[in-house]
């Protein structure tokens, strides 16, 4: 478990990997808004093309990209089924006397929904999880949310907790493995038996793991105190984030894209969402 990689970060060198993580969070939000702006065939076509462009620009292999879609397969199938069978419209495709009523509008709606969901997932995973490490994401969130400090929301503390959690994931997973081996050496069995029996077998792992996690927490707190930690006040940072011109260009491009979608929506062509 030494080589555990948390999150889905895929190391590569692309424009998105080099981008400021704050800019990527903003881009992700803008893109989500864009997917909901789409109303008709043309705008959805533009959305699909833009998503494909993102995939190409991110230099992430398609195989890995598709992996992020697997968890939403069920949602995709489910929503398209609902849309196909439940939409009533003017153009019935199945014969009148069939019990199954499918309308042309239903098919369009289903297609649009699927496109919307797929583009949503693809874009957020490209902007956030695939090209940004969890640590820089935490860092960026702290920076972006720092205005909230004024209304007494402990933004720095949350970011600190997140960083420490990320720091200790590999340590604790190693420890879990060690405890499991120790229990196995004494005849514990985690792999056979009913679900209930297997869950019960985990208790002797969880108890020592929790005890050790608390001990670690206490020691870490002492060590942090020794290193003069006193909250976010007056702290400086070694690696400060810097926006670059390209970050602003990307944000402007995406805003332009949104405006473009709005114009495309006004063109009447084939079908538009009601």
In sequence order, what are the beta bridge partners of 272? 40
Output the smallest distance, CB 125 to another protein, in A. 21
Complex with another protein: residue 232 or 260, whichever CB lies closer: 232
CB nearer to another protein: give 182 or 223.
223
In sequence order, the 6+-apart residues with CB closer than 8 A to the CB of 267 are 40, 42
Q: Can you give the binding site for another protein, defined by CB under 8 A? A: 2, 135, 163-164, 166-167, 170-171, 174, 216, 219-220, 222-230, 234-240
Is the Cβ–Cβ distance between 35 and 120 less than 8 Å?
yes
Q: Measured between alpha carbons, how far is 140 from 130 in angstroms, rounded to an integer? A: 15
Residue closer to another protein, measured from CB, 78 or 229: 229
Minimum CB separation of residue 166 from another protein in Å reads: 6
Euclidean distance between CA atoms 255 and 259, whole angstroms: 6
Minimum Å gap between C-beta 242 and another protein is 11
Instruction: Give strand ranges (E) for the chain.
Output: none
Q: Please state, in angstroms and rounded to a whole number, the distance separating the CA atoms of residues 141 and 118.
A: 25
Nearer to another protein, 214 or 269 (CB): 214
How far apart are CB 160 and another protein at their closest, in Å? 8
Identify which of residues 77 and 221 has a Cβ nearer to another protein in the complex. Answer: 221
Nearest distance, CB of residue 165 and another protein, angstroms? 10
Closest to another protein by CB, 195 vs 226, is 226
The tokens describing 97, both together, are: 């006397």
Quick one: tokens of 92? 């019935």
Q: What is the dihedral of CA 146, 151, 152, 154, to 10 degrees?
A: -30
Distance CA 40, CA 32 (A): 17
Q: From the CB of 218, what's the least distance to another protein, in Å?
A: 9
């Amino acid at each position: 478990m030494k080589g555990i990689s948390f999150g889905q970060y895929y190391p590569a060198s692309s424009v998105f990997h080099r981008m400021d993580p704050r800019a990527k969070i903003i881009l992700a939000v803008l893109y989500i808004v864009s997917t909901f702006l789409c109303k008709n065939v043309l705008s959805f076509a533009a959305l699909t093309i833009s998503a494909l462009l993102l995939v190409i620009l991110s230099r992430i292999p398609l195989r890995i990209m598709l992996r992020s879609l697997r968890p939403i397969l069920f949602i995709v199938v489910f929503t398209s089924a609902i849309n196909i069978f439940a939409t009533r419209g003017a153009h019935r495709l199945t014969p009148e006397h069939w019990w199954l009523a499918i309308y042309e509008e239903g098919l369009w709606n289903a297609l649009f929904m699927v496109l919307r969901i797929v583009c949503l997932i693809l874009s957020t995973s490209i902007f956030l999880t695939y090209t940004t490490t969890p640590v820089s994401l935490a860092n960026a969130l702290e920076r972006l949310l720092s205005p909230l400090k004024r209304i007494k929301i402990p933004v720095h503390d949350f970011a600190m907790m997140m960083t420490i959690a990320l720091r200790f994931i590999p340590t604790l997973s190693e420890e879990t493995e060690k405890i499991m081996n120790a229990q196995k050496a004494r005849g514990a069995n985690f792999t056979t038996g009913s679900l209930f029996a297997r869950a019960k077998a985990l208790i002797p792992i969880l108890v020592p793991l929790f005890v050790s996690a608390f001990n670690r927490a206490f020691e870490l707190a002492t060590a942090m105190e020794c290193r003069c930690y006193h909250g976010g006040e007056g702290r400086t940072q070694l690696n400060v984030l810097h926006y670059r011109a390209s970050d602003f260009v990307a944000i402007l491009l995406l805003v332009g894209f949104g405006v473009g979608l709005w114009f495309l929506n006004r063109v009447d062509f084939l079908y538009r969402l009601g």
